[in-house]
Amino acid sequence: MGANCYLCERSYDTINGQSPGDAVGACKLCGVFACLAHGMRNANDPAYVCGCCLPNLLTVAALWHLRSGGVSPQGSPGDRQPSPESPSGFAQWAPRISKLDDVITDIADEQWAEIHQYIEYLLKLLVDRDGPTALRAFAGPDAVVARNLMAAAIAIATKWNLPSHEMHPMLQQAMQAAVVNRYG
Ligand SMILES: [Zn+2]
Ligand SMILES: [Zn+2]
């Protein structure tokens, strides 16, 4: 009998069309065990990442680019804080992510079509200088990379129904702002 998947135990949505089962690896960012349906191995940067950390990683990367100048992003998602000395934590990884396929290597595949559509919608929202206050930092012409990463994080967290307590605080804010704008 294999290890239990953290995300299966909590009945979180699967992320990639695979079947849930025994955990196949520990998330490099938060350490939870995740099955094939709740985790993803990155071919370029070999690491297993769980479905909770993936949108958070995109968020931290978006914040890093927003503040680039090289200041490390602050804040971690809830109590899933990676140890600060970990060479592969969120903040260390973020500078190497400038587009979605740096994290999801098969992002061009058909299964992601819905995500791309939602990203397109969110980019229009994020570029709006009169848009939600929480998202206004992403509207500027020099925030293109950050805007794309933030839109991807929101789209993925929405599609996967990620519970808000698993989200980075910036992602929580952005999700609320995007939802209010969408349905308000
Ligand atoms: Zn699972
Ligand atoms: Zn994780």
What is the model's pLDDT at position 1? 54
pTM: 0.86
> In terms of DSSP H, where are the helices of 10-70?
53-66
What is the model's pLDDT at position 37? 96
What is the model's pLDDT at position 111? 86
Ion ligand 2 residue ranges (Cβ < 5 Å): 27, 29-30, 50, 53
Contact 25, 39 (CB under 8 A): yes
What is the model's pLDDT at position 183? 53
What is the model's pLDDT at position 72? 43
What is the model's pLDDT at position 184? 44
Taking CB atoms within 8 Å and a gap of at least 24, the contacts of 150-154 are 150/58, 150/59, 150/62, 150/122, 150/126, 150/174, 151/119, 151/122, 151/123, 151/126, 152/55, 152/58, 152/100, 152/115, 152/119, 153/55, 153/56, 153/58, 153/59, 153/62, 154/55, 154/118, 154/122, 154/178
Distance from Cα 57 to the centre of ligand 2, integer Å: 9
What is the model's pLDDT at position 178? 84
Distance from Cα 135 to the centre of ligand 2, integer Å: 25
- Pairing type for strands 33-34 and 39-41 reads unpaired
Q: Kindly give the parts of the chain with pLDDT less than 70.
A: 1-2, 69-88, 180-184
What dihedral do alpha carbons 179, 180, 182, 184 form, nearest 10°? 150
Among the bound ligands, name the one nearest to the CA of residue 12. Answer: 1
* Whole-Å CA distances, 50 to 59, 89, 142, 182: 15, 13, 30, 28
What is the model's pLDDT at position 86? 47
What is the model's pLDDT at position 31? 95
Distance from Cα 135 to the centre of ligand 1, integer Å: 32
Among the bound ligands, name the one nearest to the CA of residue 9. Answer: 1
Closest CA to 92 of 64, 56, 53: 64
